[in-house]
Amino acid sequence: MNNHIDLLFNYFNEFADDSIKSNYLDSFNRKSISIDFSSKSRQGDVSSNFYLVAIKKILDKQFNLKEELLKGIHNLSFIDKCEISKNGFININIKKKFLIDQVEYLLNQQNQFGKSNLGNGKKVNVEFVSANPTGPVTIAHMRGAVLGDVISSLLSNTGHEVTREYYVNNAGSQIDILGKSLFKRYLELHGEKTELSSNEYPGEYLIDIAKLIEKKDEDKWLHHDSSQKENYFKDFAVKYLIEFIEQDLMLLNIKFDKFSFETDIVSSNIISDLFKILDKKNLLYNGVLEKPKGDDSHDWEPREQLLFKSSEILDDQDRAFKKFNGEWTYFANDAAYHLDKYNRKFDQLINIWGADHVGYIPRMKSVLKTISGEDDYLEIVTCQIVRLIKNNEILKMSKREGNFITLQEVYNQVGKDSLRYFMVSTKSETSMDFDLNKVIEKNKDNPVFYCQYAYARASSVINKADDLGINIKSFN
């Protein structure tokens, strides 16, 4: 059953199509048409700017736009009253019977309301969060986490088969540093003095992890000089932190179907498979990259390495596929991970990335276009930064420096509903300020409070009806 907003949009579009076809109106951007709920009763139930948009596009001066528009709207079966105000907005009243039928339909639909089979079983992989497992989930990750979960839910409810996935970057220098930082905390528990270097992690959460190792292994690792020790502390930290991240995200009802690990990609043959695909298409060559822009260091020197011809596809330059020492680059590993997702027979890949990865998008889309043959097989949605504000002051955060605000801390202050709502209340491409004071205010300026208040009032009406023996579903 279509609601009155959809029906009005359909009518305005049909009116525009017919008028343009008859050369009464010039074509215009339909996205500029808006229909809004009215805040004042004299402005009807809803109001629209369609007349204001269309009148600027009149080609035939004999065409009475106002008269034709009102006549058509009045002929719609669900319209009670309609007028165009002095300021040009169309104010519309909806028939009460139509609105009651809408409520009855909604009640009968229950949790099926709004669902469809639009996707027809299309398999979609949504990868989001994928934060380095070097610490707890922070406010910086929350926006992408909620956005990814909301997109996944929308797809699931429109007939898509969705996999929510987290890619764990557990290889590389940051994890090496994490393991060394944890080992120093372990040494401190055994009375040894240590000093963290500027690039190591000082967060107190590592002390808690070190205590778990100390309880389990006692002094086993004090005089253990081997790669086994390094791998043990790295793996222990990653395992613990991933479990910690999972628990934190569950506070927001976010649950992943799959965790993929970078180390599994590195140790598999998938990178070799990708190499063969790109090499067969003549997209790899040995060459020299230009000096990075803004790099004023004197120790840079041109060196030959394996490059990917991404500039021939969607990028503005070619990209390193192997390091100077012959190891695969992070880009190569990441591209191989996306080949792994492609091999799992997904019809569409969607990634939620931070805005700091914008420059990385063309090279990755170039790889996926090469693999799939489709321009938009990989869709990437970017999230701008979130600034946390408390008492009118911006809280500065850095995981490396150990001063950051965790998801759990914010959750404890504002709750799940406020967090989820405000993280998707503005376009993800724009930065947002998350004011801890404002999101817990209980007044008309807080939309979350209004939603919760409306729900509480509706529940109160239902409970009152039950007490009086009234069956709301049969009410007419």
470 within a domain of the structure (yes/no): yes
Does residue 8 lie within any of the structural domains? yes
Mean pLDDT, residues 374-393 taken together: 92
Note whether 431 and 385 are within 8 A (CB).
yes
Distance separating alpha carbons of residues 419 and 410, to the nearest angstrom: 8
Q: Which residue has better confidence, 291 or 461?
A: 461
Domain contains 58:
yes
Mean of pLDDT values over 151-161:
98
Residue 55 lies in a domain: yes
What is the spatial distance between Cα 396 and Cα 247, in angstroms, rounded to a whole number?
25
pLDDT for 403: 61
Distance CA 447, CA 454 (A): 10
Place of tokens 């498979």: 273
- The pLDDT tens digits for 414-452 are 999 999 999 999 999 999 998 888 888 888 888 899 888
* pLDDT tens for each residue of 31-65: 999 999 987 777 899 999 999 999 999 999 999 99
DSSP-H helix ranges across 251-354: 262-267, 270-280, 330-343
Q: Are strands 123-127 and 348-354 parallel, antiparallel or unpaired?
A: parallel
Cα angle 406, 412, 418 (rounded to 5 degrees) comes to 95
Q: Which domain holds residue 68?
A: 4-98
Domains: count for the chain: 2
Residue 40 domain-assigned? yes
CATH of the domain at 81: 3.30.1360.70
Q: Give the pLDDT confidence score for residue 290 in this predicted structure.
A: 85
Residue listed under structure tokens 């009375």: 191
Q: Which of 98, 133, 161 is the last residue of a domain?
A: 98
Closest CA to 8 of 61, 60, 57, 44: 44
Higher-confidence residue of 281 and 444: namely 281
The arithmetic mean of pLDDT across residues 280-295, rounded, is 88
Give the pLDDT confidence score for residue 397 in this predicted structure. Answer: 67
Q: To the nearest whole number, what is the mean pLDDT of the chain?
A: 92
Asked if the structure places residue 334 within a domain, the reply is no
Residue that finishes a domain, picked among 47, 82, 98:
98
Q: What pLDDT sits at residue 321?
A: 97
Question: Other C-beta atoms within 10 Å of 296: how many?
Answer: 6
Q: Is residue 476 over pLDDT 60?
A: no
Go through 246-272 and write b for each residue having 16 or more CB atoms within 10 A of its CB, e for each that does not: eebbebbebebeebbbbbebbeeebbe
For residue 91, what pLDDT band results from cuts at 50, 70 and 90?
very high
The residue among 98, 133, 153 that closes a domain is 98
Q: Residue 25: inside a domain, yes or no?
A: yes
In a domain, 35, yes or no: yes
Residue located via tokens 């009855």: 104
Amino acid at 239: K
